[in-house]
Amino acid sequence: MCIVQRYALVLVALASGLASLSVRRAAHLAGAGLLLVFAGFGAFVAARQSWLQWYPPEIASCGRDFYGMIETFPLQRAIPMIFKGSGDCTAIDWTFLGGSIANWSFLWFCAFAFVAAVLLVRLVRRGSARLSWA
């Protein structure tokens, strides 16, 4: 799940970056729509992982931790293993102000989705205002 969140974050960055490069309204609409979809998907996955961390199942599979992989394997083998994940989505490896990475990811994805929704509303209103003046 953490790997899927990383991919969703990369897609959010790509959608917003590509939309910001254009001056066309259609590109901004498409970019804001994609941003909303990708951020919503990332928030869903982060919420699911947060739920699993708060209410772990009876049986969880455990894999190697990050530091164990770096110490045991050469960097060429450790980096692909890091992106495969361990499969234990209930593990909390890091916290900040009481929230895990999944909790913070959920909050940021919600913030990105909120910004995308506001942008979509503003773009649609601005487009309909132009049509009514025509």
pLDDT digits (tens, 9 = 90+) for 70-114: 677 777 776 666 555 555 666 666 667 877 777 888 898 999 899
Whether 91 and 2 have beta carbons less than 8 Å apart is answered as no
pLDDT at 114: 92
Q: What domains can be seen in the chain, in order of their start residue?
A: 2-133 (1.20.1550.10)
Whether 113 and 40 have beta carbons less than 8 Å apart is answered as yes
Please report, for residues 20, 107, 109, the alpha-carbon distance to residue 38 in angstroms, rounded to integers and kept in the order given: 16, 14, 9
Which letter, b or e, does each residue of 60-86 get, where b requires 16 or more Cβ atoms within 10 Å of its Cβ? eeeeeeeeebeeeeeeeebeebeeeeb
pTM of the model: 0.63
pLDDT at 134: 43
